[in-house]
Amino acid sequence: MQIYLPIAEVSVNAFLLLGLGGIVGILSGMFGVGGGFLMTPLLFFIGIPPAVAVATEANQIVASSFSGVLAHLKRKTVDLRMGTVLLIGGLIGAALGVLIFNYLKAQGQVDLLVKLCYVVFLGVIGGLMFIESLNAIRKTKSGKPPARKKHNWVHGLPFKMRFRVSGLYISVIPPLLVGVSVGILAAIMGVGGGFIMVPAMIYLLGMPTKVVVGTSLFQIIFVTAFTTMLHATTNFTVDVVLAVLLLVGGVIGAQIGTRIGVKLKAEQLRILLAIMVLAVCGKLALDLLLMPSELYSVGAAEGH
């Protein structure tokens, strides 16, 4: 069934969009990532103009994360206090990110920068998670108990705050900084930023994995809602019909994904996410390294 999208001004198959939403939704529910880093390139691939894809994706992430957060709130696996600290950082970061984005757009190399960002971040994070999860799985198999978190530099900073749900008593500076950097990257890369925030929360802040997913979704909702409003009022590129189709699939997928996530072990969850992150990274790296079949590309003019 073909459907014409009023803002994107293209006609696409409605079931294709529902399916894409569903698959990305399952992943989103399982890992607590918004799924934007997968969905945005997929939308480019089916012919949605990039500007519309990025803006609409932000809107869709709000919805898919919302149902995910509801599921997590019910199970009390959201650290609201930590989420709020991360959110304050995130909003500051998103505003900074938009400034950086506009500066680079004026330099005419924003496409390349976005792709390089993807390759570098996905590669580093995916690689680290993969190695770490493999080690963790090997340790549990050999019967040794997993090593307890040691005190590191994070615990020496001032402005300490108690985060009961996470069982942490740490300074607010690291979570604020994590929020800011995720916000910057989210604005530049046009994604929710969960795939960066989740590992940062696990490895940098030492939060328990089960709490990490719900808390990152909580932060993502507000940052992406902010981004959606920025896009809708400045670029007019939010396509609500596209967003609704993606989210109907996505919301159902997220519910299924959350339940799968509960059943899997934390190490298995992490290694799966690592493999997925590395796969997307590899695809983008190949695009940069191999000679494209069409050397030219046509874009709307960026104004005079």
10 in contact with another protein (CB under 8 A): yes
218: which residues sit within 8 A by CB, 6+ positions away? 69, 72, 78, 80, 83, 87
11 in contact with another protein (CB under 8 A): yes
Tell me which stretch binds another protein (CB under 8 A): 82-90, 144-152, 164-172, 282-290: 282-290
Only one residue has tokens 């500051």, namely 92
296 in contact with another protein (CB under 8 A): yes
* Closest approach of another protein to the CB of residue 220, in Å: 13
Q: Whose Cβ is closer to another protein: residue 157's or residue 240's?
A: 240
Nearest to 69 by CA among 60, 80, 78: 78
225 in contact with another protein (CB under 8 A): yes
User: Token pair for residue 269?
Assistant: 């969850």
255 in contact with another protein (CB under 8 A): yes
Tell me which stretch binds another protein (CB under 8 A): 31-39, 81-89, 120-128, 248-256: 248-256
Collect contacts of 263-271 with beta carbons under 8 A, ≥24 apart.
Answer: 264/30, 266/209, 266/210, 267/133, 267/136, 267/137, 267/140, 268/133, 268/137, 269/30, 269/31, 269/209, 270/129, 270/132, 270/133, 270/136, 270/202, 270/209, 271/129, 271/130, 271/133, 271/134, 271/137
Q: Whose Cβ is closer to another protein: residue 49's or residue 179's?
A: 49
Total binding residues for another protein by CB under 8 A?
56
Among 28, 40, 60, 216, binds another protein (CB under 8 A): 60
Q: Whose Cβ is closer to another protein: residue 7's or residue 39's?
A: 7
User: Token pair for residue 6?
Assistant: 């009023």
Among 99, 106, 157, 229, binds another protein (CB under 8 A): 229
Pair 167, 177: CB distance under 8 Å: no
Phi-psi region of 11 (alpha: psi -120 to 50; beta: other; left: phi over 0): beta
* Closest approach of another protein to the CB of residue 156, in Å: 40
Identity of the residue numbered 270: R
Strand 2-5 and strand 10-13: pairing? Answer: antiparallel
Among 108, 143, 156, 158, binds another protein (CB under 8 A): 108
238 in contact with another protein (CB under 8 A): yes
77 in contact with another protein (CB under 8 A): no
End-to-end CA distance of the chain: 40
Count of positions (residues) in the chain = 304
244 in contact with another protein (CB under 8 A): yes
* Closest approach of another protein to the CB of residue 134, in Å: 30
Among 33, 39, 71, 273, binds another protein (CB under 8 A): 71
* Closest approach of another protein to the CB of residue 76, in Å: 16
How far apart are the C-alpha atoms of 243 and 18, rounded to whole Å?
Answer: 10
154 in contact with another protein (CB under 8 A): no
Q: What residue ranges bind another protein (CB under 8 A)?
A: 1-4, 6-7, 9-11, 47, 59-60, 62-67, 70-71, 108-109, 111-112, 225, 228-229, 231-233, 236, 238, 240-241, 243-244, 247-248, 251-252, 255, 287-292, 294-302
